[in-house]
């Protein structure tokens, strides 16, 4: 089977595109190692320091686009992820960019740092007898698996109205990391031809879960039909104006699974 993704994002209302503090990355599978395609979304802390760099390091590293490249892709288990996170923290803290930091920026780097909610996913055995997704998560970035008009999996299992303002996340501080590794959640689910996987940061995921309690067919038809960044922006703007979605950076990655592959290649200009 084939899997192909598209990413939509909108920064907080009032902020520029450059101030979007989420991260999203995807990479194809590697036939040489048998590793499947990977997808990751992270949500950097609004009040952190260097949150965008941290969120991007996490997602790029997880899919194999980081500094260590393919050699350092972590397996989806607690111990390999722990080792990978320590390396990722070290690189973030020794970014050459920090040589230009002011006293206040250094102070915030050392006393606050940043953290990010994270969801990473690999599609395993796509061409084999047991195609499935395997995922790791911390915080309230959510994976939705949709089959037809039915939501067949939500990971992590956050209930509607369960999105708080103090979610768990991956920290930049080495000491804090030890405490959160035990909070990593793992899950997996069977993939079928025609399934769609969505990875969404909290504000959008919160809205999705509330909509899902109502007209779910309308919801999933709308999300499956998103075909241009402006349509996504219009959807988010509309929901924000209706006070139905909090003003937060929003990221949605849609991954379609099909035995046939995409019929068209769409380039948005």
Partner 1 sequence: MYRQSVSRSTPGCVVILLDRSDSMKLPWGKSGDSLAVGAALAVNNILLDMCVKATTEVNAPVRHYFDVGVFSYGARLTGPGGEGVEPAFGGPLAGRGLVPLPELAAHPMAVRQEPSIDLMPVNVKMPVWVDPAHGYRTPMCQAVAVAGGYVFDWAAAHPDSFPPIIINITDGMVTDNPYDGATIQEWVERLTAIETRDGRALFFNVFLSPVEVPEIVFPSDPGGLPLPGPDLFALSSVLPAPMVENARVDGYDVRAGAKGLAFNVGRSTLLRVLQVGTRVPDRSA
Residues engaged in binding partner 1 (CB under 8 A):
12-15, 43-53, 97-98, 100-101, 104-105, 107-108, 111-112, 115-117, 139-140, 164-167, 169, 202-203, 243, 246-249
Least separation, in Å, of the C-beta of 42 and partner 1?
9
Least separation, in Å, of the C-beta of 29 and partner 1?
29
Residue labelled with tokens 């390091």: 57
CA–CA dist 148, 196 (Å, integer):
9
Strand partners, 41: 24, 119
Closest CA to 110 of 45, 173, 52: 173
Least separation, in Å, of the C-beta of 237 and partner 1?
13
Which uninterrupted H or E stretch holds 123?
Answer: strand 115-124
Least separation, in Å, of the C-beta of 39 and partner 1?
19
CA–CA dist 172, 113 (Å, integer):
6
* Residue 65 vs 140, nearer CB to partner 1: 140
* Residue 46 vs 258, nearer CB to partner 1: 46
Least separation, in Å, of the C-beta of 91 and partner 1?
15
Least separation, in Å, of the C-beta of 131 and partner 1?
31
* Residue 116 vs 153, nearer CB to partner 1: 116
Least separation, in Å, of the C-beta of 248 and partner 1?
4
CA–CA dist 46, 136 (Å, integer):
22
Phi, psi (rounded to 5 degrees) for 155 = -140, 130
Name the 3-class secondary structure at 41: strand
* Residue 31 vs 96, nearer CB to partner 1: 96
* Residue 49 vs 144, nearer CB to partner 1: 49
* Residue 33 vs 111, nearer CB to partner 1: 111
Burial-class residue 63 by CB neighbours within 10 Å (0-12, 13-18, 19+): buried
Residue 58's contacts (CB-CB under 8 Å, 6 or more residues apart) are 23, 40, 42, 88, 116, 118, 170
Kindly write down the DSSP assignment for every residue of 127-146, as one continuous string: TSSS-EEEEEEESS-EEEEE
* Residue 58 vs 73, nearer CB to partner 1: 58
Q: How far is CA 171 from the centre of its chain?
A: 16
């Amino acid at each position: 089977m084939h899997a192909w993704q598209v990413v939509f994002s909108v920064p907080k209302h009032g902020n520029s595109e450059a101030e979007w503090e989420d991260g999203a990355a995807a990479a194809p599978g590697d036939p040489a190692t048998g590793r499947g395609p990977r997808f990751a979304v992270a949500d950097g802390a609004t009040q952190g320091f260097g949150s965008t760099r941290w969120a991007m390091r996490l997602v790029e590293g997880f899919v194999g686009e980081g500094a260590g490249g393919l050699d350092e892709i972590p397996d989806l288990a607690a111990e390999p992820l722990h080792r990978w996170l320590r390396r990722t923290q070290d690189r973030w803290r020794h970014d050459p960019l920090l040589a230009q930091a002011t006293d206040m920026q250094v102070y915030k780097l050392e006393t606050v740092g940043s953290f990010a909610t994270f969801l990473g996913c690999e599609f395993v055995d796509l061409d084999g007898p047991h195609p499935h997704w395997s995922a790791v998560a911390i915080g309230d970035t959510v994976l939705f698996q949709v089959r037809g008009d039915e939501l067949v999996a939500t990971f992590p299992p956050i209930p509607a109205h369960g999105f708080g303002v103090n979610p768990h996340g991956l920290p930049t501080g080495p000491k804090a990391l030890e405490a959160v590794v035990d909070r990593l959640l793992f899950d997996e689910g069977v993939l079928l031809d025609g399934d769609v996987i969505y990875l969404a940061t909290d504000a959008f995921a919160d809205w999705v879960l509330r909509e899902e309690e109502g007209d779910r067919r309308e919801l999933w038809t709308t999300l499956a039909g998103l075909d241009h960044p402006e349509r996504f922006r219009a959807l988010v703007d509309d929901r924000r104006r209706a006070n139905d979605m909090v003003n937060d950076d929003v990221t949605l990655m849609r991954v379609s699974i099909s035995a046939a592959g995409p019929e068209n290649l769409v380039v948005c200009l």
